[in-house]
A and B are shown apart, each in its own frame.
Chain A
Amino acid sequence: MLDLQGYGPSILEGAVLTVEAALAGLALSILFGLAGAFAKLSAALPLRLLAGAYTTLIRGVPDLVLMLLVFFGGQMLVNDLVARMGWDHVDVGPFTAGVVTLGFVYGAYMAETFRGAILAVPKGQLEAARAFGMSPFLVFRRILLPQMLRHALPGFGNNWLVLLKATALLSVIGLDDMVRKAALAAGATRQPFTFYFAVALVFLALTTVSTLLLAFAERRVRRGEARPA
């Protein structure tokens, strides 16, 4: 089959980094997404405008461009800040820049998904919970979260699959992920197709596992729903 000429472990090492970056980016995007969704539904106009600008502007620009902006621009910002504070030089590595960008960019998509999911939970239930004297956080944990999960899951799954594939772009800003490992192996062996194809297969395996897990999760969160006759 595919002869990786001893570069298999190196590619696998890169794959681990790819998965780590994707998961860290996902965690961050959930935070940005929740903040964005609640800001969009907030009664305060400035918050709504800010969140509206966030989701519209970010989703209108390619992730690669934003990644390059955060990687080069963020480094400059940190340098300025550090110089002003009189500290030593701080390096924003490609991993940090990449994860922050992934979280920030896909947070905008998550915000749209979460907003819809929150709106799908009947308002009366939230009001009833508040009337029972539950604190806003308890209402979120007991009433809103379990129900919005069900509505958010399909969109969440799509966002995750796009984010996972977008981690390949981190190789462009110098992260030692599996695309970069493949480039190194391709240069040394003069067999670029073999190595990029291997990387494609790893991505395919990751998206397949994700799809299966998401389908399982979706069945689980829907287990309380009535089945169509």
Chain B
Amino acid sequence: MKNDITQINGKIVDPLTGYVGKATIHISGGKIKKVDKRPKSISSGKKSLNLDDLLICPGFIDMHVHLREPGREDEETIMSGSEAAAAGGFTSIACMPNTEPPLDTVGSIEYVNDRSMVAPIKVYPVGSITVGQKGERLVEMQEMAACGAVAFSDDGYGVQNNDIMRRALEYAKSCDVPLISHCEYSDLAAEGVMNESFISSQLGMKGIPTVAEELMVAREIMLAEYTKGRVHIAHVSTAGAVELVRRAKRAKINVTAEATPHHFTLTDDEVKSFNTNLKINPPIRGKKDVEAVRKGLKDGTIDAIATDHAPHSVEEKEFEFDYAPFGAIGLETAVGLLVTELIENKILDWPTAVNRLSTAPAVILGIPGGSFEIGAPADFTIIDPYLEWEVNPDDFKSLSRNTPFAGRKLTGKTVMTIVDGNVVYSML
């Protein structure tokens, strides 16, 4: 490691104190040594960066990313996904276990660790809850956690069996890691391809009802309370689910939640275009759901923003809507959507927004980062909050192109990403 940069001047956004203003950050050995809020002027040089009015945030952490390695390296590799993350402003990501084969053994966790050693950012593997993500038998959680699995999840599917989920919540306490639950009862979701609503009725498409998600959110909350386990609800998409989490938190149940940029931005009427990049699971919901997700992010019911970056090949997304796979990529559009949809619309202020993208995921996963505290890693996301740009999938570092936001004009962009004091991405 070079640990190049020793001092940075700019406008820091401190998610813990709420301070937004000029500061000089001193870095030593890849860690924060000191943050001086009465900065002396410096000029950019080999070891110093003067970023003027650009925003310096603790490095963003995306706790929900699908890398397709092993298995579908044509869609994304650990390396390409990491480069996409760096370009999007993420200094750490947690990768989901639904690879081929799934990350359900110590060996597969070690594989991700090995392959990500040379990645520009930090990659934290999430192990599956059950062997083969089949929902039948628990993986060797303690040993996998000891090897670096920061959470367990059968993401892509909900754990359908109530007893297995109960045992998983109990067992995971021994590893002090959360279970990340993709909440959806598959019998209720049936063969659905989009949100069940007037739009699905119009289009004659099979719908996924909100209750398919909410029923499992309710189960996870009840099981977490009963077992005193810890559950994190992935990609909350419905108004009912937001309310369930809100009430659970009020009752001091150990539950956290995340929401995706597409769920706080898009509504299901867009599916009338039949654009398969809008086929996502959980599906893009209705207007009142989008509003509830935004409100949940504002009041802290939803702790974190995560992208659920899910690469798929162009060929597969060119199938008919019914047959196309679920998922959209999100690493390189998240910051633009955050600024355009939440900051400019005054739903979140900067410190809260940065909390949702750094502090909260760091705390939930128990990984370093998310603050300007002395000794914290010198991981920073540098944002130009006024930069206007248009989403062009051909510019992506990701190997896939399946974004529902192609052609959309956004404000705000990551212009530099720093990991352990090294610039890993810069468009300056």
Q: Do A and B come from one complex?
A: no
Give residues in B with beta carbon < 8 Å to A.
none
- The residues of A with any CB-CB pair to B shorter than 8 Å are none
